[in-house]
Amino acid sequence: MPTARVEVPKPHGMHPSAVALVKHFEGLYLTAYRCPAGVPTIGYGHTAGVEMGDSVSQADAEIMLSRDLTEAAAQVDKLVKVPLTPEQRGALASFVFNLGAGSLKGSTLLKKLNRRDYEGAAREFGKWIYATVDGVKKALPGLVARRDAEAAMFRGEDWRTALKEQPMPQRVQASAVAKPLVSSGTLKTAMTGLAGAGGVVGLGSDVVGLGEVVQQVQEVKELRDVLSGLLPGNVTMAVVVFLLVAAMGGMAWHRIRMAREGV
């Protein structure tokens, strides 16, 4: 029986930091949700042909992202008539990925850029922070943070240093739909290992159930959210996994000590 082939996307040619920026602000969602504008969205901010109820694998999401970034970068190359650094191209591709090529095409940002007013163009990013939500045009904190990050990258700075507060993926009612997944899968792997074959970690006649593990995860989630704005994703996950394992180890030691003392 022939093996199904996975189509390999074309290289998007974007600066790695720009890819990280897009992933950071879009988040990874394997089931469709509605963005603030009401558009069905899935994966890393993919919207083309998406319907509510759709689901994808993480591999599918990566392929869609690569295609979308390739298209966004191509639009930047088409519209910009002056030389760009890889960081400037990446920041503009993120802008197009989020707002569409039409927004860049008719923008003062592009006009200033094509006049070689690079700093003037960088200042224009901050004007694109509004979205229509329930018929009302309003500034979204996620868009404010994203434009600040893009402007910083455009200037050649580390975009993470521009984050004044923890940004969120640009979506609404996050608790009512599927939650974002950790792209590295590290935490999921750690949970699977802790669960074991029977769903518990045995401690003599006593056990640590999955409910307690989940509680520990929830308690460190807030710390993960804070750290993700300050540290690279892989470092953040390493810290979270370490804290989770340490918490479970402490719980296990406490139960063993109580058992020895006959409590």
Please say if 26 is a catalytic residue: yes
| Count of Cβ atoms closer than 10 Å to residue 130 Cβ | 12
Residue with tokens 């892989």: 234
Range 46-58 burial, b when 16+ CB lie within 10 A, else e: bbeebeeeeebee
> Helix, strand, or coil here: 133?
strand
Backbone φ and ψ of 32, nearest 5°: -65, 145
- Options 7, 26, 51, 71, the catalytic residue: 26
Pick the catalytic residue from 35, 71, 157, 212: 35
Place of tokens 């993960």: 224
Residues β-bridged to residue 201: 208
> Mutual orientation of helices 16-26 and 86-99 as an angle, nearest 10°?
30
Distance CA 77, CA 226 (A): 35
Which residue in the block uniquely carries the two structure tokens 């009512």?
176
- Both tokens of residue 245? 């394992």
Separation CA 160–CA 145 (nearest Å): 10
Q: Which amino acid is residue 93, in one-letter code?
A: A
Q: Is 157 a residue of the active site?
A: no
Instruction: Please state, in angstroms and rounded to a whole number, the distance separating the CA atoms of residues 223 and 244.
Output: 11
What is the rounded CA–CA span in Å between residue 80 and residue 65?
22
Residue 87: count of CB within 10 angstroms of its CB? 20
Catalytic positions, written as ranges? 26, 35
